[in-house]
Amino acid sequence: MRFHPKRPSGVHALVFSALCIVAIPIFVVACIHARHEHTALAAVLLLLLVMLGLAATGALLIVDRDRARDARLRSESEYRLLFQTIPHPMLVYDEDTSRILAANDQAIRHYGYSHDEFLSMRVEDLVVGKETPGHASGDAPPASNLAVQTHRQKDRQTIVVEISIFPMHFRGEKAVLMLINDITEHRRHSEDLEYRVKYDTVTGRLNRMSFSTWLDNAIVEAQQRKSTFYTLILGLNEFKKINTSLGYAIGDQLLQKASERLMAALGENASAARLGGDEFAFLVDLGLVDCRTLAEAVLEKMRQPFAIDDTPIQLSASIGIAHYPRDGSSTNQLLQHANSALLEARQGDCGYAFYDDTNDHLAPERVLLATQLLRGLDEHKFELHYQPKIPLLGANQFGFEALARWNSPSHGLASPGDFISVIESGDLIHPFTLWVLNTAVEQCKQWHALGYPVTMAINVSARNLLDPLLPERIRQTLARHKLDPKYLELEITESSIMSNPERSLDVLLKIRATGVKVAIDDFGTGYSSLAYLRRLPVDSLKIDRSFIAELDRDHDTRPIINFIIAMAHGLGIVVTAEGIENRLALTKLAKMRCDYAQGYYISKPMSTEDVLAWLRQYVPKVESEPDAHH
């Protein structure tokens, strides 16, 4: 930086001029009374002094004017540089009239108007409809006031923009600088994601989570009105065989047409949901006779042949019916009992069945299963298998997810889908989770000792998140096996968090305080936690396998996956894609900057012995063991 000596300001010049002006009458008086030669000489000198003062004053005023002009030119030069180099559309408009005074090249390219066309417009000419909260024309705008607006381009296309406005001076007049960020694609992906997690993507009907919320509200309303209603679940018989023999594309078309027929039978004002697979659910507040009539009408609709690609496909359906409040007073009870009635209907002849607790084949089986699981835990009939998680972006941190297996006395080695719902529904979930935690942490430490510093993830349920003792038990387990907390990750589902958000958040914060990482499993299936994501102490999320499965099908989910990855990375969250079943999906996800991948294409869940062989083949060995946790 060059140093410039401080010059006299205009104020100094004015003071000096005032002194000179005062000196003039003194000079005149001196001349009139001058009687001696020395006095006359002094008067002449004083006159010269006055003239020099006036000249200096003029010079300083000229210097100040030139400096102000130079500063203005420098400011305008800097403004022009900023205006043209920022990669966003920018406009300058008059604060009072909103008339556009300048537009940068980005604005010209983005909106399609020429610079002259912009100069003939006002800011309001770009806005479609009413402004969302932000700067109102004619008001003095606060710095960086933010608003979201819909703008129209010259070709009549509309875009959604986020604007920031800043007060400024332009050519000596008050003006406003508007910085424009086009968020049209971001908004579209966000809305698409919101739709996908509320509605079934194949049929456009509500999904299971949305239907559960709807059923919750129906129960509250029925309690207030002291009324009753029926919950019905419809299942398409032999649908899995059609899916297997004719393919998923035909199966999807069949689901769509079945959904349309169901709505036609229910009427315009009714609502229905697809629970998943071949099952649909709906509510009716009719009497017993009318409910039977409706069920028969729906089944008759379903028996008519479906024309798929000009090929008639014959299909039948069954309906299970549960009554509120007789068959249940909660959403879970009504769905469980309607599903039990559906199983009964599929074994009967008339096509539909009302719930009857004397014919509930599930109830005794669940009681027996719970008893067997408790005995299995006591007799060490459970074991853990481990599925690897590999890095995609050059990192060398490999990991595993611990998955329980049960050596069932009647079915052999059973996966979690066969027993976990029974464990989670009772108090067995707490000792079971502690067994998984202890076994997985101990195994992880053993692999570290062999030179493989991998991470370990275990799953926790909604009931675990309500246990205030869980954080301390995790800390004790890590200390007992001397494993650094950074190598342990707890996976929780979105629905687990939202079952009791405040208590879940409290437990999660305490878990994070131990140094353990937290991951959201099956992300994208519960939109209610999306807005909640910023509050959660989350380190990573796993994109639900349903999004990954559609990468290779007609329903391309790449924009959604890209949006989730960008959103997570913006929050500093690592992303894992689960359900990878082929190389193409793995390649696509790597190009989308997904951090980790997991799935059968990489490896199925393995026993402890098989994992060691896998580690030796794929994971670089570290000579020294990672620092132990104390």
For residue 615 the two structure tokens come to 């580690």
356 or 599, higher pLDDT: 599
Among candidate residues 56, 84, 112, the one where a domain is terminated: 84
The answer to whether residues 327 and 470 belong to one domain is: no
**Residue 274, pLDDT score:** 94
Per residue in 495-519, pLDDT (tens digit) is 677 656 677 788 889 999 999 999 9
Determine the number of helices (DSSP H) and then strands (DSSP E) in the chain. 21, 21
> Does a structural domain hold residue 466?
yes
- Do the beta carbons of residue 540 and residue 533 sit within 8 Å? no
> Does a structural domain hold residue 4?
no
Euclidean distance between the first and the last CA atom of the chain, given in angstroms as a whole number: 53
**Residue 79, pLDDT score:** 59
**Residue 136, pLDDT score:** 41
- Do the beta carbons of residue 585 and residue 550 sit within 8 Å? no
User: How much is the mean pLDDT over the chain?
Assistant: 82
Banded pLDDT at 181 (limits 50, 70, 90): very high
**Residue 368, pLDDT score:** 82
The answer to whether residues 302 and 442 belong to one domain is: no
Give me the CATH number covering residue 351: 3.30.70.270
The answer to whether residues 164 and 213 belong to one domain is: no
**Residue 134, pLDDT score:** 43
**Residue 389, pLDDT score:** 97
**Residue 46, pLDDT score:** 61
Number of domains forming the structure of the chain: 4
Among candidate residues 84, 115, 147, the one where a domain is terminated: 84
The rounded percent of the chain whose pLDDT value lies above 90 is 47
> How deeply is 533 buried, as exposed, middle or buried, from its count of CB atoms within 10 A (0-12, 13-18, 19+)?
middle
- pTM here? 0.53
Per residue in 328-350, pLDDT (tens digit) is 999 999 999 999 899 888 866 67
Of the given ranges (257-266, 375-384, 457-466, 529-538), which has the lowest mean pLDDT? 529-538
The answer to whether residues 98 and 61 belong to one domain is: no
> Does a structural domain hold residue 22?
yes
pLDDT exceeds cutoff 60 at 404: yes
The answer to whether residues 148 and 220 belong to one domain is: no
pLDDT exceeds cutoff 90 at 139: no
> Does a structural domain hold residue 344?
yes
> Does a structural domain hold residue 623?
no
Per residue in 240-283, pLDDT (tens digit) is 888 777 888 888 999 999 999 999 998 866 789 999 889 999 99
Angle (CA) 628 384 395, round 5°: 50
**Residue 281, pLDDT score:** 95
pLDDT exceeds cutoff 90 at 591: yes
Positive/negative CA dihedral, 506, 508, 511, 513:
negative
**Residue 140, pLDDT score:** 44
- What would the 3-class secondary structure string for 158-191 be? EEEEEEEEEEEEECCEEEEEEEEEECHHHHHHHH
The answer to whether residues 77 and 93 belong to one domain is: no
Give me the CATH number covering residue 444: 3.20.20.450
What is the average pLDDT across 129-133?
55
Q: CA dist 584 to 24, 150, 548, 551, 565, Å?
A: 96, 38, 11, 9, 18
Among candidate residues 182, 208, 242, the one where a domain is terminated: 182
476 or 493, higher pLDDT: 476
Q: Which residues, in sequence order, are CB contacts of 289 under 8 Å at separation 6+?
A: none
**Residue 16, pLDDT score:** 53
The answer to whether residues 425 and 563 belong to one domain is: yes
Per residue in 350-396, pLDDT (tens digit) is 789 999 876 655 566 767 888 899 899 999 999 999 999 999 987 77
Q: CA dist 156 to 85, 102, 153, Å?
A: 27, 22, 5
**Residue 241, pLDDT score:** 80
> Does a structural domain hold residue 100?
yes
> Does a structural domain hold residue 559?
yes
The answer to whether residues 67 and 138 belong to one domain is: no
The answer to whether residues 462 and 490 belong to one domain is: yes
Banded pLDDT at 5 (limits 50, 70, 90): very low
pLDDT exceeds cutoff 60 at 15: no
The answer to whether residues 290 and 413 belong to one domain is: no
- Do the beta carbons of residue 106 and residue 122 sit within 8 Å? no
**Residue 133, pLDDT score:** 41
The answer to whether residues 99 and 74 belong to one domain is: no
**Residue 448, pLDDT score:** 97
Of the given ranges (77-91, 305-319, 603-617), which has the lowest mean pLDDT? 77-91
Q: Domain containing 58: what range? A: 10-84
What is the average pLDDT across 613-627?
82
Give me the CATH number covering residue 162: 3.30.450.20
The answer to whether residues 411 and 455 belong to one domain is: yes
> Does a structural domain hold residue 625?
no
